[in-house]
Chains A and B, each alone.
Chain A
Amino acid sequence: EDKVVQSPLSLVVHEGDTVTLNCSYEVTNFRSLLWYKQEKKAPTFLFMLTSSGIEKKSGRLSSILDKKELSSILNITATQTGDSAIYLCAMYSGNTGKLIFGQGTTLQVKP
């Protein structure tokens, strides 16, 4: 069964810290892995990682896909209070066409 597991489930840091969020997956036919930031209601798209694009970076956020280990990390450097949110990892299965989400990591950045 296709599955996505995120860790940790919650994290509290102080402004300026660097954080690493983890996502591991099991899938029969991997197509892409997506990261989202969810602040209030709607998840906001951050990155899409595929076999041909295993590393993405945007400002202080970066993400790497490790296809061998079936996992991905999301790094946030020099965290700010505005980074406080739930970070969701999702996997797109090429076989089923399903987009399956992990349970999310709740990040709180304290001043």
Chain B
Amino acid sequence: EAGVVQSPRYKIIEKKQPVAFWCNPISGHNTLYWYRQNLGQGPELLIRYENEEAVDDSQLPKDRFSAERLKGVDSTLKIQPAELGDSAVYLCASSHQGDAFFGQGTRLTVV
């Protein structure tokens, strides 16, 4: 069974540029999470989807971050414009019954 797939694996951009991350969850998993993880810290939730509905986006900085999950499967997370403080690893996870499996993550560096 294929796991959670994320792309790209790495991204380096200049500040004020846009960037997008893509996630394909495990087949049949209705719940999808986007997390951000800074060095030395645990993952912090940005947004959670149940199917195509964003049920918790309270931690998403909506002035520059946006996300979508069309058709309740793949999801994209966008930052526009990026700031230096956005440098982090962005993790996508999918869940079925109280568990959660992560993709490889995207390491974003904003210079």
Residue of A nearest to B100 (CB): A99
Roughly how many angstroms separate A90 CA and B37 CA in the complex, as a whole number?
14
CB atoms of A97 and B55 under 8 A apart: yes
Within 8 A of B (CB), among A1-43: 4, 6, 31-32, 34, 36, 41-43
Closest chain-A Cβ to B33's Cβ sits at a distance in Å of 6
Whether A67 sits at the interface, judged by CB under 8 Å, is no
Closest chain-B Cβ to A102's Cβ sits at a distance in Å of 5
CB atoms of A48 and B99 under 8 A apart: yes
Collect the chain A residues with CB atoms within 8 Å of residue B31's CB: 97
Roughly how many angstroms separate A44 CA and B4 CA in the complex, as a whole number?
11
CB atoms of A99 and B45 under 8 A apart: yes
Whether A73 sits at the interface, judged by CB under 8 Å, is no
Number of interface residues of A (CB under 8 A): 25
Known contacts A97-B31, A97-B48, A97-B55; is-contact A102 B42 (Cβ 8 Å): yes
Residue of B nearest to A102 (CB): B42
Collect the chain B residues with CB atoms within 8 Å of residue A96's CB: 56
Closest chain-B Cβ to A52's Cβ sits at a distance in Å of 11
A residues in contact (CB < 8 Å) with B: 4, 6, 31-32, 34, 36, 41-45, 48, 50, 88, 90, 92, 96-104
- Among all A-B residue pairs, the 8 with the closest Cβ atoms: A101-B42, A41-B105, A32-B98, A42-B102, A103-B42, A42-B104, A101-B43, A43-B102
